[in-house]
Amino acid sequence: MDNYSNKRSQKPAFGNPSSFKKTFKKNDNFKPRTSSEQPSFARKEGSFNDRPQRSFGDKPQGSFNDRPQRSFGDRPQGSFNDRPQRSFGDRPQGSFNDRPQRSFGDKPQGSFNDRPQRSFGDRPQGSFNDRPQRSFGDKPQGSFNDRPQRSFGDRPQGSFNDRPQRSFGDKPQGSFNDRPQRSFGDRPQGSFNDRPQRSFGDKPQRSFNDRPQRSFGDKPQGSFNDRPQRSFGDRPQGSFNDRPQRSFGDKPQGSFNDRPQRSFGDKPQRSFNDRPQRSFNDRPRTDAPRSFADKPRRDFADSLVEKREGHILPLPAELFISCQPSLEELLYEELTEMGINVIKVGFAGVSVENSLENVYKINYCSRLAGKVLLPIAAFTFSHSAVFVEQANIIDWSPWLNLETTFVIKVNGQSTLFNNTLYAAQLLKDGICDQFRTKTGERPSVSLKDPDITLHLFLEESKATVYYDTSKEALFKRGWRQEAVPAPLQETMASAVLRLSGYKGEGLLIDPCCGGGTILIEAAMIATKTPAGFYRDSWGFTALPDHDETLWQKVKQEADSQRVPLRKDSIMGLDIQKDAVRISKVNLISASFQEEIILTQSNFQEATLPERFDLLVANPPHGERLGDEEQWIPLYRDLGDFIKHKGQDGAKAFVYTSSLALSKEIGLKADKRHVITSSGQECRVIEITVNHSPKEV
Question: CA-to-CA distance for 77 and 60, rounded, in angstroms?
Answer: 10
Nearest to 685 by CA among 695, 696, 676, 667: 667
Radius of gyration from C-alpha coordinates of the chain: 58
328: enclosing H helix or E strand: helix 328-337
Question: CA-to-CA distance for 696 and 683, rounded, in angstroms?
Answer: 23
Q: Return the CATH fold of 490-530+551-688.
A: Rossmann fold (3.40.50)
Specify the pLDDT at position 8. 43
Question: CA-to-CA distance for 221 and 214, rounded, in angstroms?
Answer: 13
Q: What's 486's DSSP letter?
A: S
Specify the pLDDT at position 571. 96
Question: CA-to-CA distance for 358 and 554, rounded, in angstroms?
Answer: 9
- Mean pLDDT across the chain, nearest whole number? 75
Please give the C-alpha separations between residue 233 and each of 227, 257, 322, in angstroms, as whole numbers.
16, 21, 80
Beta carbons within 8 Å of 636's beta carbon, 6+ residues apart? 664, 665, 666
Per-residue pLDDT reduced to its tens digit, 126-145: 545 555 555 554 554 554 55
Question: CA-to-CA distance for 462 and 387, rounded, in angstroms?
Answer: 10
Question: CA-to-CA distance for 688 and 35, rounded, in angstroms?
Answer: 135
Beta carbons within 8 Å of 65's beta carbon, 6+ residues apart? 14, 15
CB 519 within 8 A of CB 592: yes
Nearest to 369 by CA among 453, 452, 472: 472
CB 687 within 8 A of CB 651: yes
Question: CA-to-CA distance for 175 and 464, rounded, in angstroms?
Answer: 91
Specify the pLDDT at position 98. 55
Scored b (16 or more CB within 10 A) or e, 447-484 reads eeebbbbbbbbbeebebbbbbbbbbeebbbbbbbeeeb
Specify the pLDDT at position 11. 44
- Number of helices (H) and strands (E) in the chain: give both, helices first: 13, 15
The amino acid that residue 347 corresponds to is: F
Question: CA-to-CA distance for 358 and 335, rounded, in angstroms?
Answer: 10
Specify the pLDDT at position 493. 96
Query: Using alpha carbons only, what angle is made at residue 247 by residues 246 and 251, rounded to the nearest 5 degrees?
Result: 75
Question: CA-to-CA distance for 441 and 474, rounded, in angstroms?
Answer: 33
Beta carbons within 8 Å of 173's beta carbon, 6+ residues apart? none
Global confidence as pTM: 0.57
The amino acid that residue 574 corresponds to is: D
DSSP string of 511-543?
Answer: TT-TTTHHHHHHHHHHHT--TTTT----SGGGS
Nearest to 514 by CA among 582, 597, 606: 582
The amino acid that residue 287 corresponds to is: D
CB 497 within 8 A of CB 617: no
The amino acid that residue 576 corresponds to is: Q
Find residue 671's DSSP bridge partners.
686
Query: Domain-by-domain residue ranges, the chain?
Result: 318-468, 490-530+551-688
Q: How many residues does the chain have?
A: 696
Scored b (16 or more CB within 10 A) or e, 394-411 reads bebeebbeeeeebbbebe
CA dihedral (171, 175, 176, 179) positive or negative: negative
Q: In what order do the strands lie in the sheet with 444-445?
A: 342-346, 349-353, 318-322, 371-380, 462-468, 452-459, 405-413, 444-445
**Segments in the chain below pLDDT 50:** 1-28, 35, 41-42, 44, 47, 63, 73, 79, 95, 105, 108, 111, 127, 137, 140, 143, 159, 172, 175, 191, 204, 207, 223, 292-293, 295-306, 695-696
Find residue 312's DSSP bridge partners.
379
How far is residue 189 CA from its own chain's centroid? Answer: 66
Q: Return the CATH fold of 318-468.
A: VC0802-like (3.30.2130)
DSSP string of 377-423?
Answer: EEEE-SSHHHHHHHHHHS--TTT--TT-EEEEEEEEE-TT-S-HHHH
